[in-house]
Amino acid sequence: MSTEQQFDVVVIGGGPAGYIAAIRAAQLGMSAACIESAAYADPKGDVRLGGTCLNVGCIPSKALLQSSELYDQAGHAFHMHGITTDKVAMDVGAMQLRKQNIVSQLTTGIRGLFKKNKVTLLAGHGSFAQRQGDLWALDVSRDETVSRVLAKHVVVATGSSARHLPDIEVDNQFICDNVGALDFDAVPARLGVIGSGVIGLELGSVWRRLGAQVTVLEAMPDFLAACDPAIAKEAWKSLVQKQGLGVKLGAHISSVQVVANKSGKGKAASSIVRIEYEHADEHQVLECDRLIVSVGRVPNTIGLNAGAVGLAMNDRGFVEVDDHCRTNLENVWAVGDVVRGPMLAHKGMEEGVMVAECIAGQAGHVNYQAIPWIIYTHPEIAWVGQTEQQLKAAGTPYKAGQIPFLANGRALGQGDPQGFVRMYAHAETDAILGVHIIGNNASELIAEAVVAMELGASSEDLARICHGHPTLSEVMHEAALACDKRPLHF
Ligand code: FAD
Ligand code: NAI
């Protein structure tokens, strides 16, 4: 008789997609386990749940963004309110400690949620062993020890890792991916960034606010190409022209090396990073104290033994799934960054819920048209639905309403009236097709647009909803009115 532990659902990977799948499966009455490797172990060697998001992604980056934003405001915005301060100083060690405490609090919290929901945590590296009757046998390896578990259903939620460029060795000291970039122990005088995507702009903003001179080298000719063009233009004005984030578009890297810092005196670092690149038909050199490489992420499937069991993957290494995250193998599902779609924690969590509900025989569903994107720069950028270029390309007839925060009393009172809300609605049906925000608190404001789109609302529906006064949400209300050319305050 088999002595192996057996579960209804075993999830491989304890990031947001995986831990949510396990918790929801347990809530639905199934026995559930989650295998998490020691990729993020605490100082005692205990496995940390929460994946990239909690350990080296969303949460630590937002903690640093908040600290650096307050520092920036103390130096540049307090005086508007009549507040004067003596010299403002930043203790980077204290800022990092605060960040780490938040991470610890949240990762410990997931352990608590597992306990509460009776999800078994299996610490180790998970891989497929074989199909055994109508069960899957999985191996869990840790420190030379391999144990085997059996599962009726397997959910692959192994997430993603930073993409590295050929011939550029990330040491997470001088040349960093997201892991090292969140852990600087001092503000680099000169920071280089390769890639002006979400990480480049968020982490570039953190260190610029703290005093680094930041140069971002971006291969593409367009800035924030995935955003609505009006938003990308406004973001360029704000981040690059006003704040001085040095972004060079159309820059092609030829070499990156850590070299001796010949001019380094006293405490100055012994090494610097030297980047050679082509820009505007010229060969250029950038020397900096730290370099962040943020050129996208790749799915984690190595070591899963996926090939041996025939798990289908696409040519970019993502596990192939259908709309309900079913793979080609019976009772094997995959969710989160390891499958197609935006690499966002909330998208993975929704997929985790959907898969658990589908396994339980319910009608799990994710509306991929209503997944919000948020970039936590200042001003924040957030959107849901289609951009103007997508609407044009699809030949969809649309009308637009755009209202600036400058016309809003709350934004003026907060001393932060930059940016606008831009809304698109179908020219004939009036259904909301996309909402794009750049401005203070865009991350929170976008939720209203997501709800509206999820419920199939029209711009008229939003225009007829009473919004509190004075709030930033009134700008959303006015943008809905503006779709019908009848804004009241603009
Ligand atoms: P992951 O979070 O990557 O988790 C996968 C887990 O699986 C990991 O814990 C890993 O150790 C484990 N694992 C892998 N292979 C195995 C194996 N074989 N056996 C056992 N365990 C295994 N998204 C947002 O929505 N908002 C943000 O603000 C945001 N900010 C970000 C900032 C940064 C700097 C970065 C890097 C990412 C950010 N993201 C953000 C993206 C977000 O972190 C990811 O989309 C999310 O973490 C994906 O969740 P996941 O569960 O699919 O994978
Ligand atoms: P990204 O895909 O957002 O941006 C990568 C950028 O690097 C692109 O602009 C690309 O053109 C550029 N690039 C690629 N190769 C290059 C090269 N050789 N030289 C110069 N530029 C090059 O990827 P990023 O910033 O690494 O973030 C990864 C993912 O993590 C994001 O796509 C997002 O899914 C997630 N994330 C989400 C956040 C949020 O929701 N607020 C915050 C941070 C990350």
In 10 A of CB 466, how many CB atoms?
6
- One domain, residues 213 and 182: yes
Distance, CA of 419 to CA of 407 (rounded, Å)? 10
> Last residue of a domain, which of 329, 348, 366?
366
Distance, CA of 188 to CA of 210 (rounded, Å)? 9
pLDDT in tens, 396-413: 999 999 999 999 999 999
Measure the CA angle with vertex 156, ends 155 and 159; round to 5°. 135
Q: What is the mean pLDDT of residues 70-79?
A: 94
Could you tell me the pLDDT band of residue 315, with boundaries at 50, 70 and 90?
very high
Cis? peptide before 379, omega within 30° of 0: yes
Query: pLDDT at residue 3 above 80?
Result: no
Distance, CA of 485 to CA of 475 (rounded, Å)? 14
Distance, CA of 161 to CA of 180 (rounded, Å)? 13
- The pLDDT assigned to 259 comes to 95
Least confident range from 44-48, 155-159, 201-205: namely 44-48
* 489 domain residue, yes or no: no
- One domain, residues 142 and 183: no
* 169 domain residue, yes or no: no
First to last CA, the chain: 75
* 446 domain residue, yes or no: yes
Distance, CA of 164 to CA of 168 (rounded, Å)? 7
CA dihedral 247, 251, 254, 257 (to 10 degrees): 0
Distance, CA of 324 to CA of 363 (rounded, Å)? 10
* 347 domain residue, yes or no: yes
Q: What is the mean pLDDT of residues 162-168?
A: 96
Q: Angle, to 10 degrees, between the axis of helix 92-117 and the axis of helix 58-76?
A: 140
Domain range for residue 266? 175-293
- One domain, residues 109 and 23: yes
Q: Over the chain, what is the mean pLDDT?
A: 96
* 168 domain residue, yes or no: no
- The pLDDT assigned to 265 comes to 60
Query: pLDDT at residue 264 above 80?
Result: no
pLDDT in tens, 416-442: 999 999 999 999 999 999 999 999 999
Q: What is the mean pLDDT of residues 265-276?
A: 80
Instruction: Read off the tokens for 375.
Output: 């970039």
Distance, CA of 108 to CA of 241 (rounded, Å)? 42
- One domain, residues 135 and 38: yes
- The pLDDT assigned to 182 comes to 97
Does residue 294 have its Cβ closer than 6 Å to ligand 2?
yes
CA dihedral 20, 22, 24, 25 (to 10 degrees): 160
Query: pLDDT at residue 449 above 60?
Result: yes
- The pLDDT assigned to 250 comes to 98
* Residue 286's CATH number: 3.50.50.60
Distance, CA of 185 to CA of 267 (rounded, Å)? 14
- One domain, residues 64 and 99: yes
- One domain, residues 14 and 152: yes
CA dihedral 465, 471, 474, 475 (to 10 degrees): -150
pLDDT in tens, 78-114: 999 999 998 999 999 999 999 999 999 999 999 999 9
- The pLDDT assigned to 397 comes to 98
Q: Whose CA is nearest to atom 28 of ligand 2?
A: 296
Could you tell me the pLDDT band of residue 184, with boundaries at 50, 70 and 90?
very high
HEC per residue, 178-226:
HHHHCCCCCCCCEEEEECCCHHHHHHHHHHHHCCCEEEEECCCCCCCCC
- Selecting among 79, 469, 477, 489, the annotated active-site residue is 469
**Kind of pairing between the strands at 373-375 and 380-385:** antiparallel
Compute the distance from residue 50 Cα to the ligand 1 centre, in Å.
Answer: 7
Give 371's DSSP letter. -
Query: pLDDT at residue 274 above 70?
Result: yes
Q: What is the mean pLDDT of residues 458-470?
A: 98
Tell me the one-letter amino acid at 290.
R
- One domain, residues 134 and 213: no
* 167 domain residue, yes or no: no
**Kind of pairing between the strands at 290-293 and 145-156:** unpaired
- Choose one of 58, 335, 349 to mutate for the ligand 1 pocket test, by most ligand atoms within 8 angstroms of C-beta: 58
Query: pLDDT at residue 1 above 80?
Result: no
Query: pLDDT at residue 2 above 60?
Result: no
- One domain, residues 360 and 377: no
- Choose one of 198, 245, 278, 297 to mutate for the ligand 2 pocket test, by most ligand atoms within 8 angstroms of C-beta: 198
* 488 domain residue, yes or no: no
- The pLDDT assigned to 337 comes to 98
- The pLDDT assigned to 130 comes to 96
Buried/exposed 1-30: b ≥16 CB within 10 Å, e otherwise? eeeebebbbbbbbbbbbbbbbbbbbbbbeb
Q: What is the mean pLDDT of residues 149-171?
A: 97
- One domain, residues 362 and 374: no
- The pLDDT assigned to 39 comes to 83
DSSP letters spanning 235-291: HIIIIIIIT--EEETT-EEEEEEEEE-TT--TTS-SEEEEEEEEETTEEEEEEESEE
Query: pLDDT at residue 329 above 90?
Result: yes
> Last residue of a domain, which of 293, 308, 331?
293
Instruction: Read off the tokens for 30.
Output: 């199934």
* 194 domain residue, yes or no: yes
Q: Ligand 1 pocket by C-beta < 6 Å: which residues?
A: 12-18, 35-37, 39-40, 51-53, 57-58, 61, 125-127, 157-160, 178, 199, 300, 303-304, 336-337, 343-346, 348
**Closest ligand by atom to 17 CA:** 1
Smallest CA-to-CA distance from 298 within 411, 186, 158 is with 158
- One domain, residues 237 and 269: yes
- The pLDDT assigned to 42 comes to 82
pLDDT in tens, 32-60: 999 999 788 888 888 999 999 999 999 99
Query: pLDDT at residue 158 above 80?
Result: yes
**Closest ligand by atom to 50 CA:** 1
Query: pLDDT at residue 77 above 60?
Result: yes
Cβ-Cβ contacts under 8 Å for 205 (sequence gap 6 or more): 65, 68, 239, 243, 245, 377, 378
Q: Is position 469 annotated as part of the catalytic site?
A: yes
- One domain, residues 414 and 315: no
Does residue 200 have its Cβ closer than 6 Å to ligand 2?
yes
Q: Which residue has the tokens 């938040």?
A: 102
- Percent of the chain scoring above 90 in pLDDT: 94
* Residue 393's CATH number: 3.30.390.30
- The pLDDT assigned to 266 comes to 53
- One domain, residues 334 and 385: no
SS3 call for 340:
coil
> Last residue of a domain, which of 293, 308, 332?
293
- The pLDDT assigned to 263 comes to 75
